Homo-oligomer: A and B are copies of this chain.
Amino acid sequence: MAKTGDRGRARARTAPAPALAALDFALDRVSPVPLYHQLAQQLQAAIEHGSLAPGDLLGNEVDLSVRLGLSRPTVRQAIQSLVDKGLLVRRRGVGTQVVHSRVRRPLELSSLYDDLEAAGQGPTTQVVRNEVVPASCEVAAALGVPEGSEVAALERLRRTHGRPVALLRNYLPVSLLALDDARLESTGLYRMMRSAGITLHSARQTVGARAATPEEATRLEEREGAALLTMERTAFDDTGRAVEYGRHIYPASRYTFDFQLLIRA
């Protein structure tokens, strides 16, 4: 690269480049979507699209806010959200730059969506059991309800390419939502919860493995003693109430958990 004279700002020797020259950001002040979110979305799009390459500097926040006609806190809020997502890095005295290796996927939820969402065309879900039962000791403890109180017990068999990939056993507080088989098989539990106004907030999971019992082997179309992945999970909504408890098994030959951890300082 030729090192030509530069009337404006001197270019640092090591620094990648000024970057983010004049990408056009269209901010709609009438839109109900917040300005910081609009900006964040467009920055993210620029990163994913490649207009902003890994290592590129964003330019300082003050200039940015002036150029965009926004206040600095608003710009910071947008940038911060992308930093939280792992797309940008801030360094004092240096600037904000695009992360080097693109984050693989915003997969965030591990198998939670897999398990609850269903939906997709590939996998099919068959409701094997759907009834109201008194809560066992174990279920009651997980859901934080009195032992013996009524809970919905759900058992679903999920298949991909015609073969079983999961046996999902869920327990939910009754009166949380209506569980009809047809919707469960087509829509998925997760979407049913959302449309019932339930916002998932966190989940606690334990993943283990063991050999399949004869009965499990039969149902999952595996050999007896085949390796199974087991998962136990309690999900909580945004008020901290347990809304789902599940004990699931997966044939290890056809299923792995795949997820991304975000380390927070």
- Contacts of A67-107 to chain B: CB distance below 8 A: 73, 86, 89, 99-104
A202-B263, A210-B252, A261-B202 in contact; A240/B108 too (CB < 8 A)? no
- List CB contacts (< 8 Å) of A200-222 with chain B: 200-211
Q: Is A242 an interface residue (CB 8 A)?
A: yes
Given contacts A207-B207, A256-B206, contact A200 B109 (CB under 8 A): no
| Chain copies in the assembled complex | 2
Q: Number of A residues whose C-beta is below 8 Å from B?
A: 51
**Cβ contact of A261, chosen from B86, B101, B205, B265, cutoff 8 A:** B205
Is A25's CB within 8 Å of the partner chain B? no
Q: CB < 8 Å: which of B101, B110, B202 contacts A236? A: B101
Name 17 extra pairs, CB < 8 A, besides A86-B240, A99-B239: A54-B240, A89-B240, A101-B144, A101-B242, A102-B240, A104-B204, A199-B265, A200-B263, A202-B262, A203-B263, A204-B260, A205-B258, A207-B258, A209-B227, A209-B229, A211-B227, A227-B228
